[in-house]
């Protein structure tokens, strides 16, 4: 399989063990889709769906529980949800739109964990002041 040029006449003929590899538009590698362009819209959407599923599975028993401390909830959120959300993110060429979508998901979850509603009139800065890193910074750390 070769991610190659647009037309058949321009594609390089690559052989491996006397077999010619077929040209494809995109393929999945380690859970991420690799294609001709550097766009990661599909990867970001997939990771958001998977992280949302993980969050919803634990929401009632962990994140909304009154018997679990806030610090424990945040640690569980980092380990279970953020790790799923940012799996493979080291290779992403993210756009501002992708960062906004990731940040919105993170803040939605943190607001839910902290029990903050719109009536509380708290900003995202107040929530992040509790020590949680924004997704943008988490991506930078993972790339190092």
- Please write the tens of the pLDDT for every residue from 16-40: 888 888 888 877 777 677 777 767 7
Show me where the domains of the chain are located: 1-37, 41-143
Question: pTM here?
Answer: 0.76
Q: Residue 2: CB partners within 8 Å, gap ≥ 6?
A: 11, 12, 14, 21, 22, 23, 24
pLDDT value of position 2: 53
pLDDT at 38: 63
At residue 132, the pLDDT reads 87
Average pLDDT over every residue of 6-20: 73
Q: Looking at residues 7-14, what average pLDDT do you find?
A: 66
40 against 140, higher pLDDT: 140
């Amino acid at each position: 399989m070769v991610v190659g040029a647009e037309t058949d006449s321009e594609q390089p003929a690559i052989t491996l063990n006397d077999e010619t590899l077929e040209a494809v538009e995109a393929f999945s590698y380690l859970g991420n889709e690799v294609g001709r362009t550097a766009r990661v819209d599909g990867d970001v959407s997939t990771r958001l769906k998977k992280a949302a599923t993980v969050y919803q599975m634990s929401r009632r028993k962990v994140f909304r529980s009154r018997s679990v401390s806030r610090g424990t909830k945040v640690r569980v959120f980092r380990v279970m949800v953020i790790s799923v959300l940012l799996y493979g993110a080291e290779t992403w060429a993210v756009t501002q739109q992708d960062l906004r979508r990731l940040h919105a998901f993170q803040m939605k979850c943190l607001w839910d964990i902290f029990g903050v509603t719109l009536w509380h009139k708290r900003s995202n800065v107040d929530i992040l002041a509790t020590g949680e890193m924004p997704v943008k910074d988490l991506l930078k750390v993972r790339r190092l």
